[in-house]
Amino acid sequence: MSHRIFILAAALALAGPAIAQPVAPAPIPFTEGMKYLYGSGEGAAISVQAWRALTDFTSRQVRQRPRDSAVLAAGATLAAPSFVPCGRKPFAAVFDVDETVLLNLGFEYDTAIGTPWQDERWNQWEKTGAGHAAAVPGAAEGLRRLRAMGVKVIFNTNRVVANAATNQATIEAAGLGPARHGDTLYLQGDDATGKNKDGRRAMIAARYCVIAMGGDQLGDFSDLFAIASVPARRAATLAGPIAAKWGAGWFVLPNPVYGAGLKGSIDDVFPPAAHWPAVPSQEK
């Protein structure tokens, strides 16, 4: 809890329960991350750049079939990654959906005006969001290029299997389809591992040579990134053989709005070695 928020909480406690209740968690729901991702030129440009890198990489791989797919093999570790062999399997590319190919504008607007997260509200969004989401800049053209190269586009999302039909409709309404459950759309509930995606990735990699994967969360590449320590998780992305995957098989889309990338204490994010002691602050 920052100093300011502590003062605010104390002030509201003093002011009594009648006014303390409606502002209890007090985040600012229209966030800077939303401005960056959904509104800025910088957010659009970095997305287009990621999609260009992905399609250019894939086009080179299609011309010279790779030995390995981009999916980690069973038993692989981040320190010693090994990958499912491609053999002569047909080519595919595997994508997360939310904030990877799709900007959830309707749902996030609702959040921005103050509606708190509720599981049931997200479930309603999965059922009725078609037409209120947009393609990530660069995604629609990127997917078209991949399909034109003969690369099968497969979505692997934690949207749920009970909403398969409306999730297909949402993806297709944004110009990103086709998406067909059991063929080009894998959903949470397709296996017994819940929100983990390695099982679904293994199913896909058994049938396809997966040239590229795209996602906004590290879990879109491997469940091995479920590391509790924020600094250790960041360090894991930068260690030798894993660092070599970013932009070369694994492609990251920006998401400063939600997810695993927004965790951490101030000391996790700014390690003591990085503090700036030379000049005392003028306001403390």
Q: Is 114 in the site for a copy of itself (CB under 8 A)?
A: yes
The interface region with a copy of itself, picked from 109-117, 153-161, 189-197, 205-213 by CB under 8 A, is 109-117
Distance CA 99, CA 158 (A): 12
CB nearer a copy of itself, residue 76 or residue 140? 140
Q: Which is nearer to a copy of itself, 64 or 281 (CB)?
A: 281
Residues 10-49 touching a copy of itself, rule: CB under 8 A, are 11-12, 14-15, 19-20, 22-23, 26-46, 48-49
> Contacts from 265-273 at CB under 8 Å and sequence distance 24+?
265/230, 266/2, 268/229, 268/230, 268/231, 269/230, 271/231
Out of 66, 76, 122, 132, point to the residue binding a copy of itself (CB under 8 A): 132
Among residues 95, 101, 137, 153, which is the contact residue for a copy of itself, using CB under 8 A? Answer: 137
CA–CA separation, 42 vs 75, rounded Å? 39
Cα(269)–Cα(246) distance, rounded to whole angstroms? 21
From the list 77, 79, 85, 121, which residue makes contact with a copy of itself (rule: CB under 8 A)? 121
Least Å distance between CB 193 and a copy of itself?
21
Looking at the Cβ atoms of 145 and 246, the one nearer to a copy of itself is: 246
Within positions 170 to 199, which residues make up the interface with a copy of itself, using CB under 8 A? none
**With binding defined as CB under 8 A, does residue 147 bind a copy of itself?**
no
Closest to 143 measured CA to CA, from 97, 181, 108: 97
Apex 199 CA angle, 198 and 202, nearest 5:
85
**Taking the complex as a whole, how short is the minimal distance between the CB of residue 109 and a copy of itself, in angstroms?**
4
Among 160, 161, 178, which residue's Cα sits nearest to residue 169? 178
Of 227-266, which residues contact a copy of itself (CB under 8 A)?
Answer: 230-231, 233-234, 236-238, 243, 246-248, 250-256, 259-264, 266
Burial string for 30-61 (b: 16+ CB within 10 Å, else e) reads ebebbebbbeeeebbebbbebbebbbebbeeb
Q: Compute how many residues bind a copy of itself; rule: CB under 8 A.
A: 105
In angstroms, give the least distance from the CB of 143 to a copy of itself: 16
Q: Which of 83, 91, 95, 125 binds a copy of itself (CB under 8 A)?
A: 125
* Shortest distance in whole angstroms from residue 119 CB to a copy of itself: 12
Q: Interface mask (CB under 8 A) for a copy of itself, residues 197-226, using x and -?
A: -------------------xxx------x-
Confirm if 105 and 38 have CB atoms less than 8 A apart.
yes
How many other C-beta atoms are found inside a 10 Å radius of the C-beta of residue 7? 11
- Contact between 134 and a copy of itself by CB under 8 A: the answer reads yes
Q: Which two tokens stand for residue 243?
A: 């660092």
Six-digit token string for 68: 């390995």
Nearest residue to 159 via CA among 92, 100, 77? 100
Q: Indicate the residue among 89 and 128 with the shorter CB distance to a copy of itself.
A: 128
| Bridge partners (DSSP) listed for residue 156 | 186
Residue placing its CB nearer to a copy of itself in the complex, 190 or 251:
251
